[in-house]
Structure 1
């Protein structure tokens, strides 16, 4: 009985048929002038697949023509832009902080300078008559004083010599003072008081603030005196009898007599 080999979609051609077809292909390539070596590998691959049951895979080298991805490039560009923006923002923030710190330091320096200037102004003392000297000492005795002793010191000065406030303070008395003649009494910033007597004229008024070295009047011989001079007192209150050693007072405040 003769058997017919049914052909179908899932049936593979026999080896004899494949070999015949491959031979025909080689002959055709030779006839058309195509180099036979190009067909040989294909034939070898088919034989190898017949023996191993594996189909050969043709590897294509695409490195010579790299492909670009527009979406990936856009993402990279956005990332770089965000990085640059973050860097600029950080730099601007650092610059703002640096400027703020510099402004703070400058402000603090100005405040320190102002405080130092104020401290110096409040603590600066001078002699009431520069280039003069003490002609009558503190607590000197004699009948010319009602208390029996001198309650201040006298500075040698001709009539009309400028008299200065010894330090910063506020005028609490400016006018006639009985035996002291024309006088000025100043409350100093530390709570003590200074008195300037026998003036020929007064240049300040009650309530006025005065600085160290500011002229407050002119020396003279008003009141109970034997000649022109300046009577100077340092007191703990504006009242008579609260006197303290004026020489020690001035020296404690840096005035050399």
Structure 2
């Protein structure tokens, strides 16, 4: 009598099906990188050496991929850290360079301001300075000297020794109020000084300025001569309180009060 195997849930799967499921499970574990150490002995107990060799290859492949990924991640982290450090160093260097440039600019600006102040101060001092009307000369006739050659009976200014054609200089800063013929003074120049006083230069051979012109200390305004009521070439110089004749004051004291040694 023949025996037949009953069909149903009690039927064991074939060896082929068991092997297929096992292979799929190992492949899945290898793909995800999660291959347990306990799986290998269980599989080794029931599988042939060929099947064990395949499992070992799958486990080795998963470990290699994980190690490579870890190494790449570590390299990326190191590169990122190096890049961040480099950017930080570059930013710090840029800040230092900008600070140094700002300091240098500030120093240069201060130096320019200091030079400008010094130049202005020097110019102010120059414009407020006084000088003798004839360079290297001396007073040949003093103030209020008596004699018949003067219509007032005395000398209203001082005479500086000077040959004809000697340069005559403005004694200080001011504005020319007269430039031309002055009667007994011959050719003359009268300057209103910045301090409100007046200076007069007489007996000139030529005049180099005009009315309304501003002059500075030491500027050449004329050449000395012997025009007008004179006995020889020289420069007649007066200090006055107004532009008019008769308002004279001591020219030597005037010049010395402004630092001119005569």
Q: TM-score, normalised to structure 2's length?
A: 0.63
Asked if 2 retains the 8 angstrom alpha-carbon contact of 1:178 and 1:223, the reply is: yes
Q: What is aligned with 1:94? A: 99
Q: What is aligned with 1:118? A: 123
Q: What is aligned with 1:216? A: 221
1:251 aligns with 2:260: no
What SS does the aligned partner of 2:254 have? helix
Asked if 2 retains the 8 angstrom alpha-carbon contact of 1:156 and 1:229, the reply is: yes
Distance 2:159 2:114 in 1: 44
Range with bigger deviation, 123-132 or 141-150: 141-150
What SS does the aligned partner of 1:103 have? helix
- In structure 1, list runs of 5 or more residues that go unmatched: 1-64
**Number of residue pairs matched by the alignment:** 194
Q: What is aligned with 1:135? A: 140
What is the correspondence of 1:28-177 to structure 2 with a 5 Å cutoff?
69=74, 72-73=77-78, 75-177=80-182
Q: What is aligned with 1:235? A: 240
- In structure 2, list runs of 5 or more residues that go unmatched: 1-69
Distance 2:121 2:180 in 1: 35
Deviation at 1:87, TM superposition (A): 0.4
- Over aligned residue pairs, what C-alpha RMSD do you find? 2.8
Larger proportion of helix: 2
What SS does the aligned partner of 2:212 have? coil
Change beyond 3 A, Cα 1:67–1:131: closer
Asked if 2 retains the 8 angstrom alpha-carbon contact of 1:122 and 1:189, the reply is: no
